[in-house]
């Protein structure tokens, strides 16, 4: 097996990590504690190249297929929310869509995106819910980013996350999702169980690829 230097897990900071595989000219490292698979920072592309990839996305509110995809989170989340709840869509992308869908359902929404709507003042607000769809797999420091969002949630607030759940090791070898060079963190249900335990949150997984963490009313 290819030798790889010890890597610290970007989710749980564990050092008990091992090389899972080498493919697409980069390492994929597995964490024994939170079950995350991650790409080491030495393989990251530049911010300029990353944005160029996102600029190619064709997602928009006019794309019904994309809206159907987002409904995998929007529907179960909206069933848990109070009327007129106040939310933030984190990582809204070049064509904000989920925020519009939630506004149509009667919720007030803010948006934030590092590349397209960089308004850090939103993190001074308190929200009833925060959504982040197809974002967490891109984050270089996922725990710190999640913690920042968690601090913006009111008691009983909810963080809704969408990302493709990593398949088993054999299927991972041929998994399409890992071929996107901007995807550098790969989660499983076990990863979210670890995260919920760390945050002392309630965890709901309505279907594969969707995780909702509820903040306790302390």
> 4: burial class by Cβ within 10 Å (0-12, 13-18, 19+)?
middle
CA angle (165, 161, 83) in 5-degree steps = 145
CATH number of the domain to which 178 belongs: 3.40.50.150
Indicate whether 3 belongs to any domain. no
Indicate whether 7 belongs to any domain. no
Q: Quote the number of domains for the chain.
A: 1
| Predicted confidence (pLDDT) per residue in 126-177, tens digit | 999 999 999 999 999 999 999 999 999 999 999 999 999 999 988 999 999 9
Spell 136-148 as b/e; 16+ CB within 10 A means b.
bbbbeebbebbee
Provide the residue range defining the domain that includes 209: 17-214
| Predicted confidence (pLDDT) per residue in 68-102, tens digit | 999 999 999 999 999 999 999 999 998 899 999 99
Q: Give residue 60's pLDDT band: very low, low, confident or very high (50, 70, 90).
A: confident
């Amino acid at each position: 097996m290819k030798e790889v230097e010890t890597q610290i897990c970007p989710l749980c900071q564990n050092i008990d990590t091992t090389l899972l595989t080498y493919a697409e000219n980069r390492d994929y490292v597995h964490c024994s504690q939170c079950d995350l698979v991650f790409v080491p920072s030495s393989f990251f592309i530049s911010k300029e190249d990353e944005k160029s990839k996102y600029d190619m996305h064709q997602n928009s509110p006019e794309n019904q297929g994309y809206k159907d995809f987002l409904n995998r989170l929007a529907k179960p989340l909206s069933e848990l929310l109070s009327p007129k709840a106040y939310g933030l869509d984190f990582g809204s992308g070049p064509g904000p869509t989920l925020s519009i869908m939630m506004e149509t359902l009667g919720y007030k929404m803010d948006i934030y995106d590092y590349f397209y709507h960089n308004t850090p003042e939103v993190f001074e607000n308190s929200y009833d819910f925060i959504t982040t769809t197809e974002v967490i797999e891109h984050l270089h420091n996922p725990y710190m980013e999640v913690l920042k969002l968690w601090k913006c949630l009111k008691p009983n607030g909810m963080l809704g996350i969408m990302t493709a759940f990593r398949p088993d090791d054999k299927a991972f070898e041929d998994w399409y999702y890992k071929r996107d060079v901007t995807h550098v963190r790969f989660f499983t249900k076990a990863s979210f169980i670890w995260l919920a335990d760390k945050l002392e949150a309630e965890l709901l997984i309505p279907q594969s690829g969707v995780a909702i963490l509820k903040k306790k009313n302390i």
